[in-house]
Chain A
């Protein structure tokens, strides 16, 4: 692999990693701050993708569809928290897994009823349809660079809100000691509701902006959910910074695992086993630091 190709692959890795981060960040927020294991997270990603497809078809403008879609998913998050999730804060994790698993089935069925079982393509918005030439015969789609920029901007925004604002202070305090924050006169129930809605909206938003490059299909939530949990576990539960580092790491391993050839004893290890490489990384990290790279010591 020559140097030019190497740098393009590096770009591929970072771009894929940033998208993973965007999906996984909502999961790590809900998990880390509220202590709720939300395995319906992938469903919100799928809902986002289908919203992008049906709204951009109905409205005729991808950007407007994005705005409407985010508003709808925030509303969905608020309603779900109010109706179901807030009953679970004092319960065992098992109840949370059961309830959110039930939600997966409900959302899959609703998706089949509302949108059907077909595969759809969402066109890349005209504004970003161009490609930038990188090497003599390879160009890079502008839309992919745009996704990366959006993910980076959102990562920065999340850092700023959590570390520098009053709401962020309440969120961090609530994560450490819910009762104490409440007795200081802060409406922690409201803070949790907002965090859950933001988590849902992040996943749905990721589904929406990924739709033009990933296509829209049934079961896409399940695929994403697994890799999201890998990101959260490697990065450390509840750590947004950890999720970012882990996502980029996974992007690197996944990309280079597909194209580098490694042979051990005549048997091709890579790319033959590239499907496993990410999980091997997780196993190694867990052996080294069971709490994840940036996780608090257990």
Chain B
């Protein structure tokens, strides 16, 4: 990254944080004015607007707003009012934050969030109060697994869903052995479990699972271990700053080019500029890629770039699809907040997404195409569809009381 880009990146973040602050400040004033108007649909946005995930929160909100604006700024013929809370990706504050939206602001639909720990707190509150919840990112398998409920939907992915196809692809290529390496926390464990399942079903063998306490980034001993185990492939789950450091360390240790590196898509999403040539050639699987080149994706990317002056990413797509889902469901009920009817509409929804068409599984997680991508020139280029219409993890892990 050159200095100029770096400086621009910093300026952008400052602007975003400024906007987020404005949003939070407005929060204290607005509800008192608007509570009387019952003709608006109340959407509660609980997203990170500060901290490591701030950019993700902003991208999700942008996508959501774009989808609603493309529908004339209305859903089900009614105006929309947003109630925003910055969840700071802090699980300790999560329950209070959700309750603020549910009890004080009495939102009709909850949308959130990025961090899995915070999302699970939202799931608990949604289960207790019956509030409709749409999760636009957090991949915790449990949200659409053991903790699933009729009123809880996800428009993004399950952690193991992004690992499974990579395992399958490698096994299909005839790769025999692999070593996995990840942070020891829910997202990493689920992603690795998905990979292992896909890989071993196709006849591959995981020689060793290497773990690191979250968010420790002292990779050196584990890289040494990988070099001595000499597997045919390495599968990793890292994201953000940890991913950048891992990619660079992997290259500095001389392993790049000797033992090919694979990962869930988050390894190379949003970090390519910082990682530079250390990421070049790395293959990952995810439910989106930078170059799908479908007409649907092109229209979306153009509209998003025009409106927000920045390129959309997978998080923006997930926010956009959340908007599409709400538009679709409320148009079925003609704007009425009729929960059983809304749930039925969402369960039957087929979303015409920039990532490709997808529908809800029995467990309310997307049944979607997973793409194999390869980093070429700081882009996650599409290689092919790794698995078509993947319903994973198996929906039978969710025992839903019928609505």
- Among B1, B14, B225, B249, residue most surrounded by chain A Cβ atoms (within 10 Å): B225
Q: Residues 111-132 of chain A: 1 if any B CB is under 8 Å from the residue's CB, otherwise 0?
A: 0000011111101100000010
Please give the distance in Å from B18's CB to the nearest CB on chain A: 11
Q: Tell me if B71 counts as interface (CB < 8 A to partner A).
A: no
Report whether B227 and A135 are in contact in the complex, using a CB–CB cutoff of 8 Å: yes
Closest Cβ–Cβ distance, residue B279 to chain A (whole Å): 12
B50 touches A1 (CB 8 A): no
Contacting pair B52 A217 (CB below 8 A): yes
A230 CB, nearest partner CB in chain B, Å: 15
Are A118 and B52 touching (Cβ within 8 A)? yes
Instruction: Contacts A9-B221, A9-B224, A254-B218 given; indicate if A139 touches B244 (C-beta within 8 A).
Output: no
The answer to the question of B252 belonging to the interface, with a C-beta cut-off of 8 Å to chain A, is yes
B19 within 8 A of A: no
A147 smallest CB distance to B (angstroms):
12
B13 touches A139 (CB 8 A): no
Give min CB distance, A58 to chain B, whole Å: 8
**Cβ-defined contact, A4 with B228, below 8 A:** yes
Partner of A116, one of B14, B228, B241, B245: B14
Is B302 among interface residues, defined by CB-CB distance under 8 A?
no
Q: DSSP class of B's interface residues: helix, strand, loop or mixed?
A: helix
Expressed in whole angstroms, the minimum distance between the Cβ of A267 and any Cβ of chain B is 15
A113 to B3, CA, bound (A): 21
Residues B225 and A137 in contact, CB atoms below 8 Å apart: no
In contact, A259 and B221 (Cβ under 8 angstroms): yes
For A142, give the chain B residue with the smallest CB separation: B252
A23 to nearest B CB, angstroms?
14
- By a CB distance below 8 angstroms, the chain A residues around B211 are 271
A182 located at the interface, meaning its Cβ lies under 8 Å from any Cβ of chain B in the complex: no
Q: In the complex the two chains form, what is the Cα distance from A212 to B29 in whole Å?
A: 44
Within 8 A of B (CB), among A78-127: 116-121, 123-124
B184: nearest residue on chain A (CB-CB)? A275
Q: Is the CB of B224 within 8 A of A137?
A: no
Within 8 A of A (CB), among B234-258: 240-241, 244-245, 248-249, 252-255, 258
A119 touching B52, Cβ below 8 Å: yes
- Does B224 lie within 8 Å of A259, measured CB to CB? yes
Contact indicator B253/A119 (Cβ below 8 Å): no
B184: which A residues are within 8 A, CB to CB? 275
Interface assignment of B259: CB less than 8 Å from any CB of chain A: yes
Q: Smallest CB-CB separation from A255: which chain B residue?
A: B221
Q: How many residues of A contact B (CB 8 A)?
A: 43
B212, CB-defined interface residue at 8 Å: yes
User: For the complex, what is the distance from the CA of A106 to the CA of B323, rounded to whole Å?
Assistant: 40
- Select which of B6, B14, B222, B252 is within 8 A of A139 by beta carbon: B252
Instruction: Tell me if A140 and B245 are in contact (CB < 8 A).
Output: no
Given contacts A118-B52, A131-B253, A137-B259, contact A258 B223 (CB under 8 A): no
**CB neighbors of B among A185-227 (8 A):** 213-215, 217-218
Q: Are A16 and B225 in contact (CB under 8 A)?
A: no
**Could you tell me if A131 and B254 are in contact, using CB atoms closer than 8 angstroms?**
yes
Q: Which chain B positions have C-beta within 8 A of A141?
A: 249, 252-253
Q: Are B13 and A5 in contact, CB atoms less than 8 angstroms apart?
A: no
- State whether A215 touches B14 (Cβ < 8 A): no
Closest residue of chain A to B209, judged by CB? A271
B99 contacts the other chain (Cβ, under 8 Å)? Answer: no
Per-position binary interface string of chain A over residues 234-252, scored 1 when its CB falls under 8 Å from any chain B CB and 0 otherwise: 0000000000000000000
- From known contacts A121-B245, A139-B254, infer whether A5 and B224 are also in contact, taking CB-CB under 8 Å: yes
Q: Decide yes or no: A133 and B244 within 8 Å by CB, A116-B10, A121-B274 being known contacts.
A: no
Alpha-carbon distance between A161 and B223 when the two chains are bound, in angstroms: 38
- Report the minimum CB–CB distance from A120 to chain B (whole Å): 8
29 intermolecular pairs with C-beta atoms under 8 Å apart = A5-B224, A5-B228, A8-B227, A9-B224, A9-B225, A12-B221, A15-B220, A16-B220, A57-B7, A116-B10, A116-B13, A116-B14, A117-B17, A119-B240, A121-B241, A121-B244, A138-B223, A138-B224, A138-B253, A139-B252, A141-B249, A214-B217, A215-B217, A215-B245, A218-B52, A254-B218, A259-B225, A271-B211, A275-B213
B residues near A (Cβ < 8 Å) are: 1, 3, 6-7, 10, 13-14, 17, 50-52, 54, 184, 210-213, 217-218, 220-225, 227-228, 230, 240-241, 244-245, 248-249, 252-255, 258-259, 274
Give the 8 A-B residue pairs with the shortest CB-CB distance, closest first.
A139-B254, A119-B241, A138-B227, A5-B228, A141-B252, A275-B213, A255-B221, A137-B258
